[in-house]
């Protein structure tokens, strides 16, 4: 697929500074520049780096120009680039139809224009709405409801009674609705607390590979609209996650915690149970929160235990010189002892 | 399903204080109170919170009464509540039978009253005992032995030679018996050490979703009777875990470590190889243990590296004020220097 | 299978000190000594331990002899032992053939001597080369290429366009090529950045169970030749890992990071994006690296944030006595205040 700079500028609504007839043969990112391809720069520094490469054209913010490359100026270069990526690499079309190798219960409600691939199991009374795609080896439990235009990759398991919204993407190996981890300890062992609730995944959510989201003990574990969750994340029973939140890989959220809207979490974050995180909080990778911790929104927190940015930064900087501090304290102890000795002499003297 | 308070009290063996004819329409927990439902309170604080809600009746310890709600007093309120949850939400019955869409080796021994769902593979010489349920898309390797009344959720893989006990529950996506991670390093690369052992899962164990338990290099990796393991936990080759231990999500246990009985581990705990944890130890979330560490039982430990509760608590409290301590040391240095200067004057004087 | 010491010494190329006619009935490791079996000792300490057991013979380094056991001396005892393990426990042979219960696209290219088990899906234009084994419930996406003599365990998913080399082993539940975690944040929510690249797994790689390796946004995520990756490891988009590197369980590597050759990582290591790790670096378990960090090779690093061994060791030792240091600083403050008071008296005096 080749497009001219003019065609691309028209598609993304940008202003050309340079030659509008250059043929663009593909699209790439800053880390893999390719001859005759287009990419984007967010700032002067990125622009300078890319000017040294063979890329043909750059999407840049309105204020940037280049001495050597044709640029297309637009308000949000990365967003324009993402749209253009889809234009050059259109998402795969699935041929609708139900594989003769799938196992679909007679009582299941199957909408129109659905793709159900081989070795998919759909249990009794499940509902799959129009346009959804279930690629292969997927398990849909009893009474599960899946919305429109949702895409399930191979090996996904959805336990009974869970609800998945419209335009959701779930990557391979992810498990929705397994039992929450609840037991009553007794001297004879742990008695299982039945997990009777479900999981609700709202519209426009994307879940990575091998994510585990447990059903609620009673009620629902809920993932809010537009939230994006990375690979190998654990979400325990009765957790509530607000809309448009981003959770990076290997993070774990314990039971009954509540996460607000537009929160951003780095990788490997750990939350105890009943933690509450306010809207628009940014949580650094590896941060830890003890059970019951309440974090007001609109701030950056990190560390173990997590603290507001300024405090955590100072604490960690001080910890990095713990060995030197210890040495200094030892030296001070000697000096003070000597001073005490001298002064005792001086004073007595 | 509706039951009277009297019926419920009789079922759980409790004593009613209040109206024994109130109809109870369902059961819930403290976090999701519902009108006309029953729940439990462990103490005065929980009771006060629930008195403000529409729940109809509370299961409480023997000493508690309520001014506004009917209560049922009994020795272990949470245990009684868990039993009642099962009564209101009886576990799903599976229709026994082997799906025509399953692949069962002719040499496999299949007991009575077994459920084997679609796309399940059972390899040669495997044995599935009476009453077990294999829902869908499960792989049972050669010579695997599965006990009675065990429940395997979709997508579980059990490698050859592993043994699973009676009344075991394994959630979706869990992998039992993959090769342990063992290599001999050479300048030309890493030579694989064949992993020739198996995994033994004893009776009454429950394993969460996407758990990985590796086979032993030689001998068996073993999960003791009644032990409960949460999602995304990693258990390496030759690990031995005692009975009735509880391991929370995303914990990792390295090769040849030994965990005692009735141990409780928080989430994201990390153990090096050859660690030994004594019985009844409680390990805080995120704790780390270096290889070879031996931890006597019956204590609480946490931190990185993990230490007994009191030490760890003091250490972390001190670390939280590392920045202030550093500032104080700097101030002290100045003051001591000044004192030395003055004193040198004073003494020489 | 029984072999004489003589047969074994000949097989591993070692020198017998003792009785060469002892029959050896099996092979074990130091932790599970068995009567009449053979195992190995790396040093005097291991030898002494094993002399107290019923094992029949020990493989030892050239300089070691035993008073009580027959030994076979050779240059690399563990390597010889690993080879002998394979001799006593030869890897399972798979009967080549395509299961009638598999779903293989007509356009797929299938080599000779291939094993494709039940419920395996092979999509259009995929290629499986000679001698490879796909056990069961595996998904091979469109245009995926799998080399010779590669072994895929049950439940593996490989997304379209990915390339897997020769002699690769991939354990159950692992997901190769799911979308990288990339979004453009906007006030209305997060816009997905299409992930258009693939994953390349080079020859002789082994991947554990439930590993997730995301495809590149543009270009390839790459795992170098001979690299070994343990269970539940996360590798993000555009990561490049060199040859012969070893990555332990639950480690997570963020986008665009570059790992050198012969690197060794402990478990639960976390790398931010764009981190660079030099060749032959050894990284301790639980270490954390902030985004953009560059680590020169040939050193040992650990801690959070990770530092060179000597610095980290001193820092952590000092941190372990943070509470005592805090106490000493408080004492010093009092003493210095007293000294100041006295000296002010002394000097004025």
pLDDT in tens, B235-254: 999 999 999 999 999 999 99
Whether the Cβ atoms of residue C123 and residue C160 lie closer than 8 Å to each other: yes
Those residues with Cβ within 8 angstroms of residue A113's Cβ, 6 or more apart along the chain or in another chain: A96, A130, A131
The yes-or-no verdict on residue A346 having pLDDT over 80 is no
Predicted confidence (pLDDT) at residue A42 exceeds the cutoff of 50? yes
Same domain? For B177 and B295 the reply is yes
β C3-4/C23-24 pair status: antiparallel
Of C82, C52, C69, give the one whose Cα is nearest residue C17. Answer: C69
pLDDT band, residue C349 (cuts 50/70/90):
very low
In this structure, are C19 and C108 located in the same domain? no
User: What are the pLDDT digits (tens) for C144-193?
Assistant: 999 999 999 999 999 999 999 999 999 999 999 999 999 999 999 999 99
Q: How many CA atoms lie within 13 A of A66 on its CB side?
A: 31
Please report which confidence band the pLDDT of residue A349 belongs to, taking 50, 70 and 90 as the band edges.
Answer: very low
Query: C76 with C59, same domain?
Result: yes
**Two tokens, residue A224:** 């809010």
Place of tokens 């049950």: C154
Is A153 tagged catalytic?
A: no
**Closest C-alpha to B223, from B207, B208, B248, B242:** B242
Q: How wide is the angle at C-alpha C165 spanned by C-alphas C163 and C168, nearest 5°?
A: 120
Together in a domain, C131 and C278: yes
Contact A255, A274 (CB under 8 A): yes
Output the CA–CA distances (angstroms, integers) from residue C188 to A207, A228, C181, in the order listed: 19, 14, 18
Which of A153, A166, A237, A244 is catalytic? The answer is A237
Q: Does C191 touch chain B (CB under 8 A)?
A: no
Same-domain pairing of C345 and C286: no
Domain CATH number, residue A64: 3.40.1390.10
pLDDT the model gives residue B32: 83
The whole-angstrom distance between C7's CA and the closest CA on chain B is 20
CA-CA distance, A80 to C327, in Å (whole number)?
Answer: 58
Which has the higher per-residue pLDDT, B31 or C87?
A: C87
Task: Give the per-residue pLDDT at C346.
Answer: 60
A67, A88, A109 - which closes a domain: A88
Confidence at residue C347, expressed as pLDDT on a 0 to 100 scale = 55
Q: Is C231 on the interface with B (CB under 8 A)?
A: yes
At A17-29, the pLDDT tens digits run 999 999 999 999 8
pLDDT of residue C32: 83
pLDDT band at B347 (very low <50, low <70, confident <90, very high): low
Evaluate the CA torsion angle A202, A208, A209, A213 in order and state its sign.
negative
A207: domain CATH number is 2.160.10.10
pLDDT tens-digit readout, C273-322: 999 999 999 999 999 999 999 999 999 999 999 999 999 999 999 999 99
The pTM of the full predicted model, rounded to 2 decimals, is 0.96
Residue B42 token pair: 């462990």
Of the residues A310, A325, A340, the one at which a domain ends: A310
For A310, which DSSP code? H
Residue A283 belongs to what H/E stretch? Answer: strand A282-283
Same domain, B208 and B60: no
pLDDT of C207 over the 90 cut: yes
Residue C158 neighbours by CB distance under 10 Å: 31
pLDDT of residue C344: 81
- The answer to whether the beta carbons of residues C126 and C106 sit under 8 Å apart is no
Residue A322 and residue A306 in one domain: no
Q: Residue A170: in which H helix or E strand, if any?
A: strand A169-170
Closest partner CB to A208 (pick from C178, C193, C270): C178
Q: Which residues pair with A198 in a beta bridge?
A: A220
Provide the token pair at C215. 């495809």
C232 or C29, higher pLDDT: C232
Residues in chain C within 8 Å Cβ distance of A173? 155, 157, 173, 175, 210, 212
The C-alpha atoms of residue B2 and residue B126 are separated, in whole angstroms, by 44
Last residue of a domain, one of A70, A88, A106: A88
Check if B99 contacts C (Cβ < 8 Å). Answer: no
> Positive or negative CA dihedral for A54, A59, A61, A62?
positive
SS3 annotation, chain C: CCEEHHHHHHHHCCEEECCCCCEECEECCCCCCCCCEEEECCCHHHHHHHHCCCCCEEEECCCCCCCCCEEEECCCHHHHHHHHHHHHCCCCCCCCEECCCCEECCCCEECCCCEECCCCEECCCCEECCCCEECCCCEECCCCEECCCCEECCCCEECCCCEECCCCEECCCCEEEECCCCEEEECCEEEECCCCCEEEECCCCEECCCCEEECCCCCEEEECCCCEECCCCEECCCCEECCCCEECCCCEECCCCEECCCCEECCCCEECCCCEECCCCEECCCCEECCCCEECCCCEEECCCCEEHHHHHHHHHHHHCHHHHHHHHHHHHHHHHHHHHHHHHHHHC
Q: What is the mean pLDDT of chain A?
A: 95
Q: With CA atoms as reference, report the closest residue to C277 among C198, C286, C262.
A: C262
> Do C301 and C335 belong together in one domain?
no
Q: Answer whether A325 sits within 8 Å of B329, measured CB to CB.
A: yes
C242 shares its domain with C125: yes
- Stretch A201-228: mean pLDDT, rounded? 97
- ipTM score over 0.85, yes or no: yes
Strands A307-308 and A300-302: what pairing?
Answer: antiparallel
A191: β partners: A184
Q: Are A213 and A168 in contact (CB under 8 A)?
A: no
Look at B155 and A178 and tell me if their CB atoms are within 8 Å: no
Percent of chain C with pLDDT over 90: 93
Q: What is the C-alpha separation between A257 and A301, in angstroms, rounded?
A: 17
Contact between B289 and B299 (Cβ < 8 Å): no
Q: What count of other Cβ atoms lies within 10 Å of the Cβ of residue B330?
A: 12
Q: What is the pLDDT of residue C348?
A: 53
- Among partner residues B119, B210, B340, which is closest to A119 by beta-carbon distance? B119
Q: Note down the domain range covering C61.
A: 3-88
Q: How far apart are CA C70 and CA C52, in angstroms?
A: 13
Residues A157 and A272 in one domain: yes
pLDDT digits (tens, 9 = 90+) for A228-271: 999 999 999 999 999 999 999 999 999 999 999 999 999 999 99
Residues contacting residue C227 through CB under 8 Å, at least 6 positions apart: C202, C205, C241, C242, C243, C244, C245, C246, C247
Residues A220 and A322 in one domain: no
In the sheet with A294-295, reading across from the earlier edge strand, the strands are: A109-110, A127-128, A145-146, A163-164, A198-201, A220-223, A240-241, A258-259, A276-277, A294-295
Give the nearest chain B residue to C266 (CA atoms).
B272
Contacts of B217 in chain C (CB under 8 A): 29, 85
CA-based nearest distance A136→chain B, Å: 11
Q: What's the total number of domains in chain B?
A: 3
What is chain C's mean pLDDT, rounded?
95
Give A-chain residues touching B321 at CB under 8 angstroms.
315
CA distances from A313 to A229, A300, A320, C305, C325 (A): 27, 11, 11, 12, 21
What's the CA gap between B207 and A143, in Å, rounded? 24
The CB-based long-range contact list for B245-253 (8 Å cut-off, 24+ gap) reads: B246/A183, B246/A185, B246/A190, B248/A181, B248/A254, B248/B285, B249/A181, B249/A212, B249/A234, B249/A236, B249/A252, B249/A254, B249/B208, B250/A234, B250/A250, B250/A252, B250/A270, B250/C250, B252/C232, B252/C249, B252/C250, B252/C267, B252/C268
Average pLDDT for residues B83-89, to the nearest whole number?
91
Q: Which residues contact A187 (CB under 8 A, 6 or more apart)?
A: none
Q: Is A23 helix (H, G, I), strand (E, B) or coil?
A: strand
Q: Which residues of B touch A254 (CB under 8 A)?
A: 248-249, 267, 285
The answer to whether the Cβ–Cβ distance between A175 and B209 falls below 8 Å is yes
Who among C159, C181, C270 is closest to A285 (CB)?
C270
- Residue C171 CA to residue A197 CA, distance in Å, equals 32
Nearest residue to B213 (alpha-carbon basis) of B134, B286, B158: B158
pLDDT at A348 over 60: no
Pick among B104, B190, B348 to test the C interface (most C CBs inside 10 A): B190
A183-186 and A189-192 beta bridge pairing = antiparallel
Written as six digits, the tokens of B17 are 């204080």
Q: How confident is the model at residue A92 (pLDDT cuts 50, 70, 90)?
A: confident
Q: Is B139 helix (H, G, I), strand (E, B) or coil?
A: strand
For residue C25, the distance in angstroms to the closest alpha carbon of chain A comes to 40
In eight-state DSSP terms, residue A91 is: P
- Phi first, then psi: give them for residue B338, nearest 5 degrees: -65, -40
Domain check: are B157 and B112 in the same one? Answer: yes
Q: Does residue B57 surpass a pLDDT of 50?
A: yes
Q: How far is A205 from chain C (nearest CA, A)?
A: 10
Check if A309 contacts C (Cβ < 8 Å): no
Higher pLDDT, C293 or C347: C293
User: Could you give the CA distance from residue B9 to residue B84 in angstroms, rounded to a whole number?
Assistant: 10
Q: How far apart are CA B193 and CA A102, in angstroms?
A: 39
Q: Compute the distance between CA of residue B222 and CA of residue B219 in angstroms, rounded to an integer.
A: 10
């Amino acid at each position: 697929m080749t497009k001219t700079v003019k065609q691309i500028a028209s598609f993304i609504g940008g202003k050309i500074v340079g030659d509008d007839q250059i043929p663009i043969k593909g699209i790439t990112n800053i880390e893999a520049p390719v001859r005759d391809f287009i990419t984007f720069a967010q700032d002067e520094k990125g622009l300078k780096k890319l000017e040294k490469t063979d890329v043909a054209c750059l999407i840049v913010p309105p204020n940037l120009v280049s001495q050597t490359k044709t640029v297309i100026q637009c308000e949000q270069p990365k967003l324009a680039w993402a749209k253009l990526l889809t234009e050059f690499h259109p998402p795969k079309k699935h041929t609708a139809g139900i594989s003769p190798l799938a196992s679909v219960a007679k009582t299941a409600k199957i909408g129109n224009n659905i793709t159900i691939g081989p070795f998919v199991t759909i249990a009794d009374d499940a509902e799959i709405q129009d346009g959804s795609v279930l690629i292969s080896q997927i398990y849909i439990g009893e009474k599960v409801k899946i919305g429109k235009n949702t895409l399930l990759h191979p090996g996904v398991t959805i336990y009974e009674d869970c609800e998945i919204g419209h335009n959701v993407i779930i990557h391979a190996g992810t498990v929705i609705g397994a039992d929450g981890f609840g037991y009553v300890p007794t001297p004879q062992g742990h008695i299982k607390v039945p997990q009777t609730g479900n999981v609700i995944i709202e519209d426009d959510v994307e879940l990575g590979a091998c994510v585990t989201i447990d059903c609620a003990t009673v009620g629902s574990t809920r993932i809010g609209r537009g939230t994006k969750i990375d690979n190998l994340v654990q979400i325990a029973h009765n957790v509530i996650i607000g809309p448009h939140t981003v959770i990076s890989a290997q993070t774990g959220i314990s039971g009954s915690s509540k996460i607000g809207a537009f929160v951003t979490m780095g990788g490997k974050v750990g939350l105890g149970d009943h933690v509450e995180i306010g809207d628009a909080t940014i949580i650094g990778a590896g941060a830890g929160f003890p059970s019951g911790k309440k974090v007001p929104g609109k701030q950056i927190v990190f560390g173990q235990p997590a603290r507001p940015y300024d405090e955590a930064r100072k604490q960690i900087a001080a910890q990095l010189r713990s060995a030197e501090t210890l040495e200094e304290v030892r030296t001070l102890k000697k000096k003070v002892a000597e001073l005490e000795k001298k002064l005792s002499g001086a004073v007595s003297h």
